[in-house]
Amino acid sequence: MRGGPLIAIDGPAGAGKSTVSRAVAERLGLERLDTGAMYRSVAWQALQDGVDPADGEAVAKIAAGALLEVGTRVVMNGHDVTSAIRTPEVSRAVSVVAANPAVRRELVKRQRAWAAARRGGVVEGRDIGSVVFPDATVKVFLTAAPEERARRRGHDESADGVARRDRLDSTRPVSPLISAPDAHILDTTGRSVEDVVEEVLSWL
């Protein structure tokens, strides 16, 4: 099995993680993993089951037992949730779920197994370079001006919602949203996807 680089792309909501990671993976012929979709899937299942996202033990059980596939489509326990996990309800619940230490342990274990099986890939999230893959080939932390990020997220999340998630994700005690010390910090404000991708590839 041919290996490849492991590229970690982190950053807050609306910074361009999904767009950039998808384009980088395509350029390099690598698979891509959206770790945020994993946390969103657990949050979605909790809401479906009538479980309070803040009920740590119950949500941890959902994560531990999840039959979860994240690729072009996202499938949670046999349900295609690709669109369902992007609703405002899930966006409101996901930061609480992602702050659950037991959920993080379970999903980080799955993320590492995913990369090991592929011997590389492009992985996006909020703690990939800092916690999940501290030895990634390249670590990128994307940022953008708050108004730009709110505009990009406008279809499914308000500016207040984006700010709230930033606050929760940055201050949680377990794996907070931070850039790794050796990450390349890249501001995507006003830049084309092609331009950003070229810069990321130049760091390989």
* Residue 1, in any domain of the structure: no
pLDDT above 50: residue 1: no
* Residue 135, in any domain of the structure: yes
Q: Domain containing 158 — which CATH number?
A: 3.40.50.300
Into how many domains does the chain fold? Answer: 1
Over residues 3-26, the pLDDT tens digits come to 789 999 999 888 999 999 999 999
C-alpha 41/C-alpha 82 separation (Å) is 9
Please classify residue 183 by burial: count the beta carbons closer than 10 Å to its beta carbon, then call 0-12 exposed, 13-18 middle and 19+ buried.
buried
C-alpha 198/C-alpha 59 separation (Å) is 40
**Listed range (4-8, 130-134, 166-170, 199-203) with the worst mean pLDDT:** 166-170
* Residue 138, in any domain of the structure: yes
Contact 32, 22 (CB under 8 A): yes
Distances (CA, A) of 28 to 32, 88, 119, 122, 138: 10, 33, 14, 9, 13
* Residue 130, in any domain of the structure: yes
3-state secondary structure 62-99: HHHHCCEEECCCEEECCEECCCHHHCHHHHHHHHHHHC
Report the phi/psi class of residue 172: left, alpha or beta, with left for phi > 0 and alpha for psi in -120 to 50: beta
pLDDT above 50: residue 79: yes
Find, among 62, 86, 63, the residue nearest to 74 by Cα: 86
Domain that holds residue 190: 6-202
**Listed range (5-19, 38-52, 142-156) with the worst mean pLDDT:** 142-156
pLDDT above 90: residue 176: no
Average pLDDT of span 58-73: 97
Beta strand 32-34 with 138-143 is unpaired
Higher pLDDT, 135 or 155: 135
* Residue 178, in any domain of the structure: yes
